[in-house]
Homo-oligomer: A and B are copies of this chain.
Amino acid sequence: MPIYNPPLRDMQFVLHEVFQVTDAFKAMPRHAEVDVDTVNAILEEAGKFASGVTFPLNISGDEEGCTLNRDTHEVTTPQGFKQAYQQYVEGGWAALSCEPEFGGQGLPHVMNQCLYEMLNSANQAWTMYPGLSHGAYEALLAHGTPEQKQTYLPKLVSGEWTGTMCLTEPHCGTDLGLLRTKAEPQADGTYKITGAKIFISAGEHDMAANIVHLVLARLPDAPKGSKGISLFVVPKYHVNADGSLGARNPVFCTGLEHKMGIHGNATAQISLDGAVGTLVGEPHKGLAAMFVMMNAARLGVGNQSLGLTEVAYQNALAYAKDRLQMRSLSGTKAKDKEADPIIVHPDVRKMLLTAKAYAEGARALQIYCTLLLDQSHHHPDEKVRKDSDELVALLTPIVKAFITDNGHTATNACMQVFGGHGFIKEWGMEQHVRDNRINMIYEGTNTVQSLDLLGRKVLGNQGATLKKFGKLVAALVAEEGVNEKMAEFINPIAMLGEQMTKFTTEIGFKGMQNPDEVGAAAVDYLRVAGHLVFGYMFARMAQVALRAIAAGNADPFYVAKLQTARFYFAKLFPETVMLMRTARAGSKVLMDTDAALA
């Protein structure tokens, strides 16, 4: 039977010992009251919900999937999903980090981050229903009219209704400029929207009374391309003035995709047949409004892979301790047993530690990012808000692509620990691999993320934001540069930081001659940047662990953290050597290949 134990100790370590989040909260009037006990109590309850309520539905949800009634256009979610969602709503979880004005609890994004990590470990497919809703909430909060906010936000905050983002069409995904869905203005100020959308996660289901679709479409006078796209809110059921549900709006689920994974989530084909909606934000500026939701979603996708990496690791570790097979190369370890547990084998440890290091690095980065997000919203100092916002923008593509690619490596490694049993559904390991696989694709493929990072976020402002992150690394290097015990953690990031400056400049120059050089280097570049960021996170965690040990703290957690950090720098971080070499190999070997790719 698969297990999941919420990693509360590691979360608390990152929250309280590494980033001292409650001190950071004190600087923000909105969150000043959120103390350590509150944080820990919420974590504990969230962990109980995830492990106790949604985790038991993970394998069954995968097996059962969603079903569409083609006559009614209604979708039935897997058994138990609806009830679990009811519990989620009743527990107030949907409202955790939402605005009190609309019924939210007003807690920091950091808390939502930890809640969602655990929900994703427990059941990614289920978690996408409230996850998409929260994104819709964020977009309406930022760009909705007062009336739209009043109509939709209280219900999205409570979770009574859920939300979606309707972007993709059959002929366009990455390139939203091509989209064709039309919005016709009506005399009453509303719009009639007609078109076909695909890949709409949580697009139709039986878990909530209403579904609030955020739909990208074109107005009749819209310019071509991405500057002619507007955003509309299109509810499944119209909402009467008193808040009760009115007539069915013709926004129908016409099909469900058959997918590799996340079977429990309804990936809907949505047909809008003159569905009535209202405009969100300004005409033709829908993409910018939708990006509020997209950016949140990108951090959320990284979080999905963090969750899957953690749960895969926990199960692989348990199996490696339990499964007896062969003897240790360095001599029998379990003399009383007919074979040694496979955890004695170096490569089994390597697979386990790969997942563990990638989970812990990702957890630190995700919490760091969402703390920046809280500061960008609620810090009283404008400069802090601005700097935080810029850093989140820089880190978002790294979170999305680096953590999901690492999740691919990690879930596959954990599956491999199980040998043949890893391939068998009942063990649950292959599902983590399948579920994780979409994370590398949706909300902008990982290639798109890399172009966003290198092209827009780094070269787009001459490396100014990257330098801000570089300063944090430099400060840590300066602080710990003479501490011999920290040398093994500091030297690699000090060296990589310097190399990256040169590396970035190089690509920048080459890219000015030939923009394909940027496209050729971007994916490698993002992973190098990812390792610099993870290296920084591990160095900070090692710093805390060394100080705790020096202070006489005997908790083996700190020793464990140092071992994981050492493994990370020895076995994963050296990928950067290869990446800088392959990036430097340039674009010519890719582009001068018309004969090969004929």
Contact = CB atoms under 8 A, between A and B. Distances in A.
A590 B349 contact: yes
A178 B597 contact: no
Nearest to A587: B346
A420 to B, nearest CB: 5
Interface in A424-439: 424-426, 430, 433-434, 437-438
Contacts of A259: 423-425, 430
Nearest to A450: B347
Contacts of A523: 347, 350
Interface string A210-253: 00000000000000000000000000000000000000000000
B556 A585 contact: no
Contacts of A597: 317, 320, 343, 349, 352-353, 356
Given A519-B345, A556-B595, A571-B585, A171 B350 contact: no
Contacts of A519: 329, 345-347
Given A347-B450, A516-B329, A437 B423 contact: yes
A578 interface: yes
A189 B300 CA distance: 66
Interface residues of A, number: 95
B345 A447 contact: yes
Nearest to A558: B595
A582 interface: yes
A231 to B, nearest CB: 20
A484 interface: no
24 contacts: A257-B424, A259-B424, A259-B425, A260-B434, A261-B423, A328-B516, A329-B515, A345-B447, A346-B516, A346-B520, A347-B447, A347-B522, A352-B597, A356-B597, A408-B412, A412-B437, A563-B589, A564-B596, A566-B589, A567-B596, A571-B582, A571-B589, A574-B582, A577-B577
Interface of A: 168, 171-175, 177-178, 198-199, 257-261, 317, 320, 324-326, 328-330, 338-339, 343, 345-350, 352-353, 356, 408, 412, 415-416, 419-420, 422-426, 430, 433-434, 437-438, 440-442, 445-447, 450, 514-516, 518-520, 522-523, 556-557, 559-561, 563-564, 566-567, 570-571, 574-575, 577-578, 581-582, 585-587, 589-593, 595-598
